[in-house]
Amino acid sequence: MSSDKKWIVVTGATAGIGYSTAEIFAKNGDNIIITGRREDKLKELAQKLEKDFSVKVLYYAFDIKSKSEVLKFVDDIKSKNITPDVLVNNAGLSRGLDKVQNASFDDWEEMIDTNIKGLLYITRLVIEMMVKVDRGHIINLGSIAAYQPYTGGSVYNATKFAVRAISDAMNLDLIDTKIRVTAVHPGMVDTEFSTVRFNGDKDRADSVYNGIATLTADDIADIILYVANLPERVNVQHITVTPTQQRSINIINRNNIFE
């Protein structure tokens, strides 16, 4: 399945930043490969993108925590003669907001397995493909939490510090190639993030954003598209972006200044 258009892989594409990223690249005329755990959502998005933008869209439902499933995914796109031009590592999550002395081991393992190990599994295999053709761009979704720890965020912070460090190390490892690595570190974005963190407690999730004109998923997708389409000689290694009302993890103006 060859094409003159670029192929863009977006993980965690069923909602939020991943959904918006897949949509904006399709609008740009690129072919899209979307992954996630909710097959019904992936199928619905694939059909929408194909109809609205006349691009090719493939979807794969699997859990990025499973190395065997990631291997199966990569083997399948190889069988279709596809080498991704861009890999957007968006899949990730946070669980809980407990202090380290009270936190759940299960929550820790889910965050580590998804945010670090899952990212590494797919990146390792896709970069191997990119190196063979000496082109490509890895874009990792980090967080402002990669720079500033906060109470109750010990392991989530650790996973995002890891994404930042992995991105830096990857840039060093790839110095003798044309492959670029960018980490995008958002502050507050109103997506499913807090709902997932609080295990579906929508009221608690909504309270996180009270009084704030947050970033949107589309804002982050715009940034991802921008860095991916810069000239090949330009490598934006890190971008940190926050709402105007948020200047650090905990320095936030909740006075509805944009209403």
Domains of the chain and CATH, by start: 62-241 (3.40.50.720)
**Predicted local distance difference test score (pLDDT) of residue 1:** 54
Q: How is the beta sheet containing 137-141 ordered, strand by strand?
A: 57-61, 31-36, 7-10, 86-89, 137-141, 180-186, 238-241
Given this model, what pLDDT does residue 44 score? 97
| Residue 52: CA count within 13 A, CB half-sphere | 15
The reported pTM is: 0.95
Helix axes 39-53, 16-27, angle to 10 degrees: 20
- Answer for the pair 12, 60: CB distance below 8 angstroms, yes or no: no
Of these residues, 147, 150, 156, 226, which one is catalytic?
Answer: 156
Residue pair 193/249 in contact by the 8 Å Cβ criterion: no
Divide the 259 residues of the chain into consecutive groups of 10 and give the mean pLDDT of each group: 81 96 98 97 98 98 97 98 98 92 95 97 98 98 96 95 98 98 96 76 81 95 98 98 95 89
Known catalytic residue at 156 = yes
pLDDT at 198: 76
pLDDT at 59: 98
Contacts of 189 (CB under 8 A, 6+ apart): 16, 17, 214, 215, 216, 217, 219, 220
